[in-house]
């Protein structure tokens, strides 16, 4: 997430030198957590309040996975196995991590799957996504913790209370 600006490049296109300089000037906030922890909801709320540009990686990947391309099929195969799709990008200014119990995340994802009919929200895939999340994200979280960039937020509470905690973290950056 970062402030929106019309001069930012479209996703998937190589950055020109002046675009790289522009990107360096933006505050970047990574939001991490398991499936169903509330990342999407809270990112939308933060984008609305602060005028941030929310780039939802999962949404972009699902869109790409639906394309009839070799890359789209590869991404689709990875996602349906419950694995993480590798990404690259600039380092964040802060990393917000939503901590949530496995039971809560599974419950939320299954409800979302019924409402949105997302293929990757089936229970067996969700359990694999959670296992992958815990296995692969631990070293990433440890890395950002060592750099003192990690901010943990308990995400078991009501959405408005979680949002208030997010706002406290963002306001501390000002």
Domains in the chain, please, with CATH?
2-54+92-171 (3.40.50.300)
- pLDDT tens digits, one per residue of 128-152: 989 988 888 888 888 889 999 999 9
Nearest one of 31, 35, 63 to 50, comparing CA atoms: 31
What pLDDT shows up at residue 3?
47
CA-CA distance, 100 to 30, in Å (whole number)? 17
pLDDT the model gives residue 75: 83
Burial of 80 (0-12, 13-18, 19+ CB in 10 A): middle
Using an 8 Å Cβ cutoff, are 28 and 92 in contact?
yes
pTM for the model stands at 0.71
pLDDT tens-digit map of 46-98 = 999 999 888 777 777 778 888 889 988 888 888 777 766 665 756 789 999 99
pLDDT at 108: 93
Contacts of 147 (CB under 8 A, 6+ apart): none
pLDDT score recorded for residue 162: 97
Q: Give per-residue pLDDT as tens, 28-37.
A: 898 999 999 9
Nearest residue to 137 via CA among 95, 103, 106? 95
pLDDT at 10: 44
| Phi-psi category of residue 5: left, alpha or beta, with phi > 0 → left and psi -120 to 50 → alpha | beta
| Listed range (99-108, 123-132, 164-173) with the worst mean pLDDT | 123-132
pLDDT confidence of residue 133: 85
Give the lowest-confidence range in 85-89, 105-109, 114-118. Answer: 85-89
What is the four-CA torsion angle of 100, 101, 107, 113, rounded to 10 degrees? Answer: 50
Return the closest-CA partner of residue 130 out of 108, 105, 97, 155: 105
Residue 71 φ/ψ, nearest 5 degrees: -65, -40
Q: Which residue has the higher pLDDT, 159 or 58?
A: 159
Q: For residue 60, what pLDDT is reported? A: 74
Q: Considering only CA atoms, which of 154, 171, 125, 158 is closest in space to residue 33?
A: 154
Residue 6 has pLDDT above 70, yes or no: no
List the structure tokens of 44: 């939308």
Stronger pLDDT, 18 or 147, i.e. the higher one: 147
End-to-end CA, the chain: 15
What's the mean pLDDT in 158-171? 96
Q: Tell me which residue of 163, 125, 164, 145 sits closest to 39, measured CA to CA.
A: 163
């Amino acid at each position: 997430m970062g402030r929106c600006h019309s001069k930012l490049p479209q996703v998937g296109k190589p950055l020109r030198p002046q675009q790289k300089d522009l990107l360096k000037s933006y505050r970047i906030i990574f939001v991490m957590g398991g499936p169903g922890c509330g990342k999407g909801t809270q990112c939308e709320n933060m984008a609305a309040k602060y005028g941030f540009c929310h780039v939802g990686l999962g949404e972009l990947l699902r869109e790409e996975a639906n394309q009839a391309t070799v890359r789209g099929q590869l991404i689709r195969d990875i996602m349906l196995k419950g694995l993480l799709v590798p990404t690259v990008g600039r380092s964040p200014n802060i990393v917000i991590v939503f901590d949530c119990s496995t039971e809560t995340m599974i419950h939320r994802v299954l409800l979302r799957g019924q409402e949105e009919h997302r293929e990757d929200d089936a229970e067996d895939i969700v359990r694999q996504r959670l296992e992958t999340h815990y296995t692969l994200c631990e070293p990433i979280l440890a890395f950002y913790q060592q750099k003192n960039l990690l901010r943990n937020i308990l995400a078991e509470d009501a959405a408005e209370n979680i949002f208030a905690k997010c706002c406290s973290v963002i306001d501390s950056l000002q």
